[in-house]
Amino acid sequence: VQCKHCSAILNPYARVDFNSKVWSCPLCMNRNHFPPHYQGISEQSMPAELYATYCTIEYTLNRTVQPHPPVYLFMIDTCVSEEELAACKAAVTQAISTLPEYVYVGLVTFGRHVHVYELGFVECSRVFVFRGGKEYTNAAIVEQLGAKPKAGATG
Domain CATH for 49: 2.30.30.380
Domain of 103 in residue numbering reads as 71-145
Contact 134, 144 (CB under 8 A): no
* 14 and 45 inside one domain: yes
Domain count within the chain:
2
| β-bridge mates for residue 31, sequence order | 24
Rg value, the chain, Cα: 19
Instruction: Please indicate, yes or no, if residue 154 is contained in any of the structural domains.
Output: no
Exposure of 3 by Cβ count < 10 A (0-12 exposed, 13-18 middle, 19+ buried)?
buried
Instruction: Please indicate, yes or no, if residue 150 is contained in any of the structural domains.
Output: no
Exposure of 25 by Cβ count < 10 A (0-12 exposed, 13-18 middle, 19+ buried)?
buried
* 91 and 49 inside one domain: no
| β-bridge mates for residue 149, sequence order | none
pLDDT of residue 138: 86
pLDDT of residue 121: 66
Phi, psi of 129 (to 5 degrees): -115, 130
What number of CA atoms fall less than 13 Å from residue 34's CA on the CB side?
23
Fill in the amino acid letter for 13.
Y
d(CA 57, CA 18): 22
Exposure of 10 by Cβ count < 10 A (0-12 exposed, 13-18 middle, 19+ buried)?
buried
pLDDT of residue 151: 52
* 42 and 94 inside one domain: no
Average pLDDT along the chain, 155 residues, taken 10 residues at a time = 88 92 92 92 89 76 79 93 95 92 90 87 79 89 76 48
* 34 and 86 inside one domain: no
Exposure of 38 by Cβ count < 10 A (0-12 exposed, 13-18 middle, 19+ buried)?
middle
Instruction: Please indicate, yes or no, if residue 152 is contained in any of the structural domains.
Output: no
pLDDT of residue 67: 80
pLDDT of residue 155: 43
* 47 and 109 inside one domain: no
* 46 and 94 inside one domain: no
Domain end marker among 40, 64, 88: 64
